[in-house]
Structure 1
Amino acid sequence: MARRSPCVTISDEEPGDDLDLFCVPNHYVEDLEKVFIPHGLILDRTEKLARDVMGDMGGHHIVALRVLKAGYTFFADLLDYVKALSRNSDRFIPVTVDFIRLDFLRATVMTSQQQHNPKMVEVASLLVKRTPRSIGYRPDFDGFEIPDKFVIGYALDYNEYFRDLNHVCVISETGKAKYKSEAESPG
Structure 2
Amino acid sequence: MAKEPALGSPPIFIGDDVRYSPEELLLPKQYHKYVENIIIPNGLLMDRVEKMAYDIRRVYRNKELHCLCLLKGSRSFFSVLFQHLAKLSLYDEDATCAPFFEHYLRVSSSEGAASSQRLKVVSDDLRCLRDKDVLIVEDIIDTGLTLSELTKYLQQFGPRSLRIASLTLKRTPRSNGQAADFVGFSLPDKWVIGFSFDCDQMFRDMPHVCTLSDNGRRLLGLSP
Q: Which stretch of the first structure deviates more once superposed, 83-92 or 150-159? A: 83-92
- In the TM superposition, residue 3 of structure 1 has moved relative to its aligned partner by 4.3
Q: Is 1:54 the counterpart of 2:95 in the alignment?
A: no
Trace 1:33-48 onto structure 2 (pairs within 5 A).
Answer: 33-48=36-51
1:178 corresponds in structure 2 to: 219
Give the residue type in structure 1 aligned to 2:175: S
Q: Does 1:7 align with 2:48?
A: no
Find the aligned partners of 2:31 and 2:63 in 1 and give their Cα distance: 43
- Are positions 1:96 and 2:114 aligned together? no
The TM-score, its normalising length taken from structure 2, stands at 0.75
State the distance in 2 between where 1:167 and 1:126 align: 13
Long gaps (5+) in structure 1:
none
Q: Secondary structure at the match of 2:101?
A: strand
SS of the counterpart of 2:27? coil
- What is the number of residues matched between the two proteins? 181
CA distance in 2, matches of 1:42, 1:162: 16
**Greater percentage in strand:** 2
- Which residues of 2 match residues 66-77 of structure 1 at below 5 A? 66-77=69-80
RMSD: 1.8
Moved segments of 4+, more than 6 Å:
none
Q: Which secondary structure state, in structure 1, belongs to the residue aligned with residue 162 of structure 2?
A: coil
Consecutive unaligned residues of structure 2, counting only runs of 5 or more, are 110-145
Residues 141-166 of structure 1: CA distance to partner in whole angstroms, max 9, x if unpaired?
Answer: 00000110111000201121111111
The answer to whether structure 1 residue 83 and structure 2 residue 124 are counterparts is: no
Q: Is the 8 A contact 1:67 1:100 kept in 2?
A: yes
Listed one character per residue, the Cα deviations across residues 51-71 of structure 1 (whole Å, up to 9, x for unaligned) are 110111141111110111112
Structure 2 distance, partners of 1:119, 1:171, is 40
Task: Output the CA distance in 2 between the equivalents of 1:120 and 1:41.
Answer: 30
TM-score after normalising by structure 1: 0.89
